[in-house]
Structure 1
Amino acid sequence: PKDLKSDPRGWPERPGAGAGKQVVGADLPRLIYVRWQSLVEPQTYEAYIVIPEATRQLMVIGEKAFCRADAKWITGYRDMLTVGLAPGGIAKVWLMGGCLAPINVTRVQGTVVKKGPYGGKSGGQHRPLSATSKAYIEKYGIPYGSW
C-alpha cells in the first residue's frame, strides 16, 4: 500500500472481479474448490464452496440495469462469481454482473493444507512478503475477524 495508508479491514462494497479464471460454455457451478497461500501468516488453505441452487437460478435471470460507463440501460446478467480470500482461511463469494450490484452468496472457513504451498514441493516454504507489505503488517497487524 502506498505510504502505508490503506485499510485492509472488511470486504469492499463492490468487489472487483480480480485476476479471474473464465470458464466459457460450462454448466452453472455447483461447487468451487480453492487453495491459496496467505502470505502474511504464512499459511496455505483450501476450501470447498457450495453454490446454492437459488444463486445458480439468479445467474440466468436478466435484470434491467443502468450502466454508468456508457449511460445506457441494458438487460444485464449476473454471470460472474468472485471469490475473496483472506488471512485466517476466510473465503467469501459474490455473484456479480457488469452493471449490476453484487449479491453476497456465502462465506466459508477454509482448512489448513498441511503439505503447505505448491502441493508440498516447496518444503513448506512460502513466498516472502515484499518489504512494503512487511512494514505495513509490522505497523498495523493483521485485522483478523474483520472479514
Structure 2
Amino acid sequence: MINVKTFLLIIFCLLVSSCSTEYQAEPQELDEWTVSTISPKNYTAVVDILLITGEKKKRGWTGLVSNYTTESLSPLKWDGVDRYHSGYFIEDAELPGLIYIRWHSLANKVTYNKAIRISENIRNKMREYHDIRCGKSNRLKPYKNNILLGLAPDGMISVFLNGRCFDNELQFKVQAVEYTVADDFVYPELSEEAQAYVDEHGVPTGIW
C-alpha cells in the first residue's frame, strides 16, 4: 500500500511533467548576424571596404578593412567551405538593407566595387526560426544568419545565405564593376602556390 508521502510525491512529479510538456519557450528574436567573404582557391581577394546599411536606414556599420578572405577548396568552385569565414559580426535586430563592398583581386590586379541590395525575401529567410541543433555541443542554432559574399576574380559576386547548422544557399549573383585605384597603388603579391596556379591556368571568366 502506498503511503501518503509517496502518493504526494507521485502527484507532484505528474504535475511538473505536465507543466513542462505544455510550456514551450518563445523563440528568441534574431539579434545577431554576420556578413562574410570568400574567394576561390588561389584567386585571393583583399577586401578594402565593407559598408552595411540597415533595412530601416537608421543604422550603419563598417568592417573588413584590408582583410584577406578565406578561400574555397577548389579554384573553380565554392565547395568544401565552412559556414563562417572572414565575417563581420553585428549585434542588432535590424537586418541589412544594402551592402557596399570594394575589394582587390590579386590574381589579375583589378579592383572591383558594388552596392548589393538585400531583399525582404532574404531578410525573412534570416528571421525564420528553425528548431535545429548541430555541432559537437548539439546546441540550438535556429537561424540562417550569415550572408556570405563569394568574390570571383572576374568581378562576379555570388550571394549565399547560411548559418551554423545550414549549408550555403545561393540567393543570387551580381556583377561588380571595376574601380580605378590611385596610380601609385601597389597590389599585394599572391602566394607562390597561387601565383604558379594563375601562371598556368590564367584568370577565367564566367565560371563562378
Q: TM-score, normalised by structure 1?
A: 0.81
Moved more, 43-52 or 135-144: 135-144
Q: 1:92 aligns with which of 149, 152, 158?
A: 158
Q: How many residues align?
A: 138
Aligned to 1:35: 102
Distance 1:14 1:124, change over 3 A: closer
Q: 2:173 aligns with which of 102, 107, 110?
A: 107
Matches within 5 A, 1:1-147: 7-12=74-79, 16-25=83-92, 27-67=94-134, 69-70=135-136, 72=138, 74=140, 76-114=142-180, 116=181, 120=182, 123-147=184-208
Q: Secondary structure at the match of 1:63?
A: coil
Contiguous gaps of at least 5 residues in structure 1:
none
Equivalents in 1 of 2:131, 2:151: separation in Å?
30
Equivalents in 2 of 1:14, 1:70: separation in Å?
18
Equivalents in 1 of 2:202, 2:193: separation in Å?
13
1:141 is displaced (CA, Å) by: 2.2
Kept in 2: contact 1:81–1:93 (CA 8 A): yes
Kept in 1: contact 2:133–2:165 (CA 8 A): yes
Amino acid at match of 1:88: D
User: How well do the aligned residues superpose, as a CA RMSD in angstroms?
Assistant: 2.4
1:131 is displaced (CA, Å) by: 2.1
Amino acid at match of 1:25: D
1:15 is displaced (CA, Å) by: 5.3
Q: Which has the larger radius of gyration?
A: 2
Q: Secondary structure at the match of 1:64?
A: coil
Amino acid at match of 1:86: A
